[in-house]
Amino acid sequence: MRWFSSSGVLVSPSLQLSVWRSVLPLSGSIWRRLEALALGLHILSLLFGLAGLLWVVPHPEWVASLPPVGIQAFSWSMGNGGVAYMVFGALAAALMGSRLLGVRRLLMFLIPAVGISLASELLGTSTGIPFGDYGYLSGLGYKIAGLVPFTIPLSWFYVGLSSYLLARVALQAGRHWLIHCEAILLGALLLTAWDFVLDPAMTRGLIPFWTWFQPGPFFGMPLQNFGGWMLTGAAFMTVANLLWGKAQPVLNRRQLLGPLVLYVANFAFALLMSLGSGIFAPAGLGLLLGLGPALGLWWSAPPAPSHPEAVEGEAARTWQALEDPGWAGVK
């Protein structure tokens, strides 16, 4: 048990928890409410995007029947909907990660995820390495260096975080020295499986968001693309794992529910987009390699403690983590 005091007086974690609650009695609930709000807005944006792309766009007569204000609002929402759902997704993941990991460990994941994915995307759109020759169209926000929308690294971050936290269930159960590598590869696979389903719909749908200049056998895209996804995802997950060091997070089934919902919501969006565009094979591949394993990993995680003392101890660790992210839930 760790004791500390800024004035030299030893204070127990349980007493510190009581002090925090007396000073900031609503902090925990506000944190969770903001997280729930961001996640809810993210899912709502996904649903709105599905409705617009799969029903409204194929029926232009419905849009034409709207008053001028309605047409203008629809045009604005279709132009900014992709930006909104990725920004809300990144915000939800940041709040969720702060609560589950602590701010310090969250930043140890967020910075490599955004930095490495952005570097890969800039390299890919300018040289064709590591994904192949492609380019982004409009609809996803301001383009960094005129090449990559700023929202793309955000999507790598929030889907990557949910994928890796779910994949780490295997790490929590295993003890052999290769288990860290297995968890990283499994997390990268969950991330890539999402792209199996998303990429064909976003390039061959009624409104494409990027285009491939290099034809390939997988619905017009090269197989190299998926190698690039595995490499990029594994790279930033490896960096995060190394930065965490001995302070590796251990999460139970209840704690992993948020990452699961975030992953399933984005996977379902990609799945419905593909099915709505008449693209079926990637959906089956994604279910086999992504959604199925994600649900299985979540279910295999240890259940949340049910004993009152255990729950109180978990709450104390959560509050401790908000002040000192390296303290709680380490393995």
pLDDT tens across 202-247, in order? 888 777 889 999 889 988 899 999 999 999 999 999 999 999 998 8
Q: Which structure tokens are listed for 49?
A: 């995007």
Compute the C-alpha angle 125/128/129, nearest 5°: 105
- For the stretch 254-312, pLDDT in tens is 999 999 999 999 999 999 988 988 888 888 888 999 999 999 999 999 998 875 444 43
CA distance 150 to 272: 25
Residue 16 above 50 pLDDT? no
Q: Which structure tokens are listed for 167?
A: 């994949």
Residues with Cβ < 8 Å from 270, sequence gap 6 or more? 194, 197, 198, 201, 286
Q: Helices 13-23 and 308-323 sit at what angle, rounded to 10 degrees?
A: 70
Phi, psi of 56 (to 5 degrees): -70, -50
* Per-residue model confidence (pLDDT) at position 58: 60
Task: Give the pTM.
Answer: 0.82
β-bridge partners, 161: none
Helix/strand/coil for 325:
coil
Which whole-number Å values give the CA distances from 276 to 18, 216, 229, 319, in the listed order? Answer: 52, 22, 24, 44
Q: Which structure tokens are listed for 189?
A: 């696979």
CA distance 19 to 28: 13
CA distance 136 to 210: 4
Q: Helices 179-204 and 224-244 sit at what angle, rounded to 10 degrees?
A: 140
Residues with Cβ < 8 Å from 325, sequence gap 6 or more? 101, 102, 103, 104, 105, 106, 247
Nearest to 189 by CA among 241, 227, 132, 158: 227
Residue 45 above 80 pLDDT? yes
Over residues 141-156, mean pLDDT: 96
